Amino acid sequence: MASYTMKFNHANARIRVSQATASDAPAVMELLVGAAKWLKSKGSTQWSSLLSGDDHHNVVGHIDKGELFMFKDGDILAGIVLLMQVPGDWDHRLWGSDGHEPVVYLHRLAINRDYAGQRLGADIVKWAEEGISFPGKDRIRLDCIADNEKLNAFYSGLGYAYKGTSQGGFCLYEKML
């Protein structure tokens, strides 16, 4: 299981935070598929493999490792985020083989569309920065597809420093904690 200290169990006045458990997997996958459908409706192929049932990011495995956090408004799953203390193969491909020790990797930030436009995404990222801490970690890294201007503006607007674009077309961002 992931080692961490949760400083705050809320992302804002309404949204409570908890670590996902195996029984949460169906709701988490439903949220991710909903996000993939919305992305497709906007002309994006991001996360499209979820629409055919392929979870090559192994979300359930990340739940089992204690790396997935849920953001709920009462009983409604409003959002999720994956916070990894150990980089995956994807992170090694994007960031290279060195410098991973002090890093938490933020992946799979997803918002229930009923909560869109309410700054929940920003609240979740802020919680990942301030509401939880990981031993020996002093920065967060993330990536996003380069051709999504709004998403890139979102992360840079939250103070993430642009660190380059991978050959595969993903912008790399990092923020010191």
Q: Transcribe 56-114 into DSSP letters.
A: TT-HHHHHHTT-EEEEEETTEEEEEEEEESS--HHHHHHH-SS--TTEEEEEEEEE-GG
Task: List, in order, residues 6 or more apart from 41 with CB less than 8 Å away.
Answer: none
Query: Which structure tokens are listed for 91?
Result: 């992170």
- Local confidence pLDDT in tens for the 177 residues of the chain: 679 999 999 999 999 999 999 999 999 999 999 999 999 998 888 888 999 888 888 999 999 999 999 999 999 999 999 999 999 999 999 999 889 999 999 999 999 999 999 999 999 999 999 999 999 999 999 999 999 999 999 999 999 999 999 999 999 999 999
Q: Which DSSP letter does residue 23 get? A: G
**Looking at residue 130, what DSSP letter applies?**
H
CA 68, CA 61: separation in Å to the nearest integer?
9
CA distance 28 to 137: 26
Q: Name the CATH superfamily for 5-137.
A: Gcn5-related N-acetyltransferase (GNAT) (3.40.630.30)
Helix (H, G, I), strand (E, B) or coil at 123: helix
Where are the chain's structural domains?
Answer: 5-137
**What was the pLDDT predicted at 53?**
87
- CA dihedral over 136, 90, 11, 158, signed as positive or negative: positive
Length of the chain counted residue by residue: 177
* The predicted structure's pLDDT at residue 1: 67
